[in-house]
């Protein structure tokens, strides 16, 4: 998984009673690999994230998925 600042990190809902979460990537490692510092769009909280298999990155430049 690779990301650039400004991309979206989307974490799918693991259970029916939870919801999908989306965050804006605000900082990446040297080669775009995790961990990422993100700002969650639902509450503005910033966190350091090591995305799991339930997550993917969406490019904001062309709206294409990045893996």
Each residue's pLDDT tens digit, 6-61: 999 999 987 778 789 999 999 998 899 999 999 999 999 999 999 999 999 999 87
Distance CA 21, CA 56 (A): 11
Which is more confident, 5 or 64?
Answer: 5
Residue 29 belongs to some domain of the structure? yes
pLDDT at 13: 83
Domain count across the chain: 1
Asked if residue 60 lies in contact with residue 10, where contact means CB atoms within 8 angstroms, the answer is no
DSSP conformation letters of 45-61 = -EEEE---TTEEEE-TT
Each residue's pLDDT tens digit, 2-14: 999 999 999 998 7
Residue 42 belongs to some domain of the structure? yes
Residue 2 belongs to some domain of the structure? no
| pTM (two decimals) | 0.82
């Amino acid at each position: 998984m690779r990301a650039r600042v400004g991309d979206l990190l989307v974490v799918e809902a693991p259970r029916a009673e939870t919801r999908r979460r989306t965050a804006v990537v605000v900082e990446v490692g040297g080669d775009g690999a995790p961990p990422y510092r993100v700002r969650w769009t639902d509450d503005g909280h910033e966190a350091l994230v090591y995305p799991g298999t339930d997550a993917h990155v969406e490019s904001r430049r062309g709206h294409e998925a990045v893996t």
